[in-house]
Structure formats: structure tokens, C-alpha cells
Structure 1
Amino acid sequence: MASPIVVMPSLKHTATLIFFHGLGDTGQGWSSTMAALKPSYCKLICPTAPTSPVTLNGGYEMPSWFDLKTLDASGPEDEDGIKKATQMVHSMIEDEIKAGIPSNRIAIGGFSQGGALAIFSALTLPKQLGAAVCLSGWLPLNKSFPGALKCPPTLPLLQCHGDCDPLVPFKWGQMTASILKTLLSAPEFKSYSGLMHSSSDEELQDVKEFISKCLPPV
């Protein structure tokens, strides 16, 4: 796997944000956007997914956290790939904990497939994370919950979705939001009128405020 893009904090390092890109992108793709909205005491890590064939794209090889087989909500999922990617996320979190950042000062997030990976990883981690953020994503292997849930129900989670998303349908976002309501005490779901499969200034401002609230200065 390529080395992640790391943006060090300008003040004393007391929190970490790990952000996962969408299918076919790289860590570089989101690094400047996320660097602009993270708190100044927060380190940013933007890894790049390994390159592998993606069934949905005719087997074409591209950076992908796990295989995507179909865009049908009830279709087959790459369970092994999702779990393998989740182990990678959990080990990145452990590395930050070993470096002295407590789990409740670590936030993970992502866009699209990266957002799916972030929320699945957060829900299956038996530790209290500072925050989880999912942009234009969904909850993979959702039928494995509530059995697969390991995190405390107090996990702060922000899910954002455009209501005109042609790739990850808005109804997937709504379905994910309704599942998360049964798992967590206060997940937040924000929708953006007219937004397609991308981000907007309004959404990024919401993410900035959420991360600053969940990872306040210490």
C-alpha cells in the first residue's frame, strides 16, 4: 500500500483524524480539503487504498478498500474484503493510541466507499472513538448488526448525503440512517438539497463544526 498523506498539526498534537477516500481516488484527493477543516492541534492521515480489480467496473483495477459487486442494496457484498480493510483501519487507530493519542481523541471518516469503511470500522471497534463521519456512503454488511456492534452506543456519528446522488442513492443514506438510530444513542443525519455524489461548502462546514465539537481543545 502507498504511504498515506500525513498533515502534522501546527499546535501540540492532541487529536488525530483519519480520512478514507472514495473508489478510484487516492489519499491526495481529500488531503487538502480535510487539512483545511481540521483543528490546528489535530494530525490528519489520508491513506490510499490498495489497487485491486473492481467487479462493478468490469474487473478494472483501481484503488479500492474492498470489492464492489453491485449497486443493488440487497446484492452480494465482499465480506472478506470489508473485514480485511476494517482490520487495517483498526490497526491504524491502534498505532495512534500507541503514539499517545487516546481513542476518544481519534476521529475517522470517509467519502463514499471510504465513508462506508469508516462507519463499519467505527461500529466494530470495541473502544470509544472521538467521532465518525460518513459522506455520501452507506453501512456495509448491515444485516450483521446489531450482532456485530462493538462500540459504545455513545459514539458520535455524523452522516451526510446529497438528495440527488446518482451513484450511492439517497435512499441508501436514509436506510443507513434508520439502522444507525437503532444502534447509537444520537447519530446525526444531514441531507443536502440538490447535491450529487460530491461534497459542498455547506456540508464541509458541518463536518468542520462536528469534528471541532467532538475533538475540542484540551
Structure 2
Amino acid sequence: MCGNNMSAPLPTIVPAACKATAAVIFLHGLGDTGHGWAQAMAGIRTPHVKYICPHAPVMPVTLNMNMAMPSWFDIISLNPNAQEDESGIKRAAENVKALIDQEVKNGIPSHRIVLGGFSQSVISKNKDISVLQCHGEADPLVPLIFGQLTVEKLKSMLKPSNVTFKTYSGMTHSACPEEMMDIKQFIEKQLPPINS
């Protein structure tokens, strides 16, 4: 992702329209790439925000009969009690941290960087972090109950009033314009322009 993982190409970047004073790092879902999400972010861009859409390395995924595909780590099963690829998750987290560190080196303070993703869960030691979790009510791949369980877990780990859960009627394992507008409003609230 960030130079230390040679199997993944460099991230797709949607540059800020003016001087970047904030950044969004957005991770794609299993089997996807950052290209489509960069296009989606370009559609909701805020002028002072740089959007970074990295590409996961291609690897065999146990869940999909060991087929090689872009994945941040191996996924054994969608069962909530399934074994997890701890070393792969740690490696993916280190790669995301490297992206954040690079943006800090580029002059964007860490508190002006938002981390998001499709079909992802982010856990932080920062209890005051704001989270927007979106879920399609008709998602056949990741059932709504998993999203509801995840949001309850997040509320138990973070400040509950900072966790927002939005669902979208009829939306499957995809995105919709209403969701993208909610994401845009969340980003604008978290990363307002800096008055110079």
C-alpha cells in the first residue's frame, strides 16, 4: 500500500481542489480496488480535502475457496465466531498507519484525517472518535444484523453519542446516492475548512 507492500499498487488519489488541509483515506471492500471509490469520492469531494483510495494486495481468500483477489487480510468465514487472520489484520493496520503517517509528513495534522471504508470496521483507542456506519437493509452478503451488532460493539467501546448508524431501504451490498450524501455531510462536519 505505501511502499512497504510491493504486491499492491500505489493508492488512487483525488487531489484537493485547493490547498489540502485535510485527508480522507477510504478502504475498498473484498475483491474491489480503490479506483471506483476514488470516482465516488470525486463525486462528493470537498475542495480542501484530499481523498486517498488505496488498493489491497492480491491474496488467496479462504472464504472464497482460496481464490486470489484484492483483500486487506484473509477472511476465513462470515460467521461472527470465526477464526480471524490476526497477523494479516495487524499488517493491514500497519499499512493504513503508514498512509496516515505519510499525510502527516505532507503537512496534514492527524486530527484532520478521516479513515473510512466499504465493508470495514474501524476500532480505535480514541474514545472520542466520531463514527458513521452505513448499512443496506437488503444486503445479502453482510446481513443487517451484523451491522447492528457492530454498531452496538462500537458504542460499547467508544462514546456512544459519537456513533451514528444509518440504514438504507432496498440497498444491497453497495452504495447509493443518499448514503454518499450522508458520507459527504459527515466528512464536511469532521473536516471543516480552515479559515486562514
TM-score by length of 1: 0.82
**Corresponding residue for 2:72?**
65
Secondary structure of the structure 2 residue equivalent to 1:101: coil
For residue 45 of structure 1, report the CA deviation from its aligned partner: 0.8
Which residue does 1:85 correspond to in 2? 92
Shift of residue 38, structure 1, vs aligned partner: 2.4
CA contact (8 A) 1:38 1:212 kept: no
SS state of the match for residue 148, structure 2?
A: helix
Pick one of 168, 185, 194 that aligns with 1:209. Answer: 185
- 2:158 pairs, out of 165, 171, 184, with 184
Aligned to 1:48: 55
The aligned amino acid for 1:215 is: L
Contact 2:14 2:41 in 1 (8 A): no
Return the alpha-carbon distance in structure 1 between the equivalents of residues 44 and 89 of structure 2. 28
Is 2:107 aligned against 1:100? yes
Is 1:9 the counterpart of 2:22? The answer is no
- Give a deviation string over 1:122-179, Cα, whole Å, max 9, x none: x1xxxxxxxxxxxxxxxxxxxxxxxxxx22x110110000111110111110001101
Task: Give the structure 2 partner of residue 165 of structure 1.
Answer: 139
Identity of aligned residues (%): 49
Asked whether the 8 Å contact 1:21–1:46 carries over to 2, the reply is: yes
What is the distance in 1 between the residues matched to 2:15 and 2:37? 15
Report how far residue 66 of structure 1 moved: 0.5
RMSD in angstroms over aligned alpha carbons?
1.0
Give the Å deviation of 1:34. Answer: 0.9
Deviation at 1:195, TM superposition (A): 1.1
Say whether the 8 Å CA contact 1:38–1:211 is kept in structure 2: no
* Residue 85 of structure 2 is aligned to residue 109 of structure 1: no
Gaps of 5+ in 1: 124-149
C-alpha separation in 1, matches of 2:14 and 2:134 = 24
The answer (yes or no) to whether the contact 1:49–1:65 under 8 Å persists in 2 is yes
Q: Secondary structure, in 3 states, of the residue corresponding to 2:42?
A: helix
Q: Which runs of 4+ in 1 moved over 6 A?
A: none
Does the aligned pair in 2 maintain the 1:28–1:46 contact within 8 Å?
yes
Equivalent in the alignment of 2:128: 154
3-state DSSP of counterpart to 1:195: coil
Match of 1:10, as an amino acid? A
Offset from partner CA, 1:30-58 (integer Å, 9 cap, x none): 11101221211111111110000000111
Instruction: Give the Cα–Cα distance (whole angstroms) in 1 for the partners of residues 45 and 84 of structure 2.
Output: 32
Structure 2: state its 5+ residue gaps. Answer: 1-7
Which has the bigger relative contact order, CA under 8 A and spacing at least 6?
A: 2
State TM-score, norm by structure 2: 0.91
Counterpart CA distance in 2 for 1:56 and 1:179 is 23
